[in-house]
Amino acid sequence: MRGAPSRVALPSTISALTRERESEPIRSARNRSARWPAASGSAVAVKTSPVAAAASGGGGGEGGTVLALKALVVGMGVLIVAGTVALVAVVVQRAGGIGGGGAGSVRLDVALDQPEGSRIAGIAAAEGGALGVWVSRPDGDRVLLVDPRRGRVAGEIRLGR
């Protein structure tokens, strides 16, 4: 009669007591084909090289379709990146960071030196980048031509009598 099992497991005693597992009948049923009864014809495996598949028309058309889909995805990715760059460039330009601004981006600081009681009745752009300022004065109206590049009055137009 044997005593109580030992609490210490030695490799030599473990390997002496091991044995092969018996195969389970369920395992063989699990590995069987789901198509029952089995197909009547035999299967034929055909190996083709990529060069031969391309020469024969792409192996049923799937290779060409996948290639076209990849090209389409890459093309759309490039368009998304280009559109994002263009959008950022327009936003930066309109914010006034880069490039020339519009007509509202010029700041003009000019003293017109007109007598008391004068007022500006209108402003218009003239040829050559000058501004025409219509000044209504107590002694009569006149138009002052202002050069915005130099910041000074370039000329004056009065009604003569």
Task: Outline where 40-159 has alpha helix (H).
Answer: 50-55, 62-95
**pLDDT (tens digit per residue) in 105-160:** 567 777 788 888 899 999 898 777 888 899 998 888 899 988 888 888 888 888 76
Question: C-alpha 127: how far from its chain's center?
Answer: 43
Confidence of residue 97 (pLDDT cuts 50, 70, 90): low
pLDDT at 50 over 60: yes
**CA pair distance 153, 48, nearest whole angstrom:** 86
Whether 1 has a pLDDT exceeding 60, the answer reads no
Identify the DSSP state of 45.
-
The pLDDT tens digits for 123-135 are 898 777 888 899 9
Domains in the chain: boundaries: 50-95, 106-158
pLDDT at 99 over 80: no
- Collapsing DSSP to helix, strand or coil, 81 comes out as helix
Instruction: Please state the φ and ψ torsions of residue 11, each to the nearest 5 degrees.
Output: -60, -35
Indicate whether 48 pLDDT > 90.
Answer: no
pTM for the model: 0.35
Q: Which of 94, 150, 103 is nearest to 123 (CA)?
A: 103
R_g (Cα) of the chain, nearest Å:
46
Q: How confident is the model over 27-40, as pLDDT tens digits?
A: 555 566 566 555 55
Cα torsion 28, 33, 34, 40 to 10°: value is -140
Average pLDDT in the 64-86 region?
95
Q: What does each C-alpha distance from 121 to 124, 133, 135, 142, 161 come to in angstroms?
A: 11, 8, 6, 10, 22
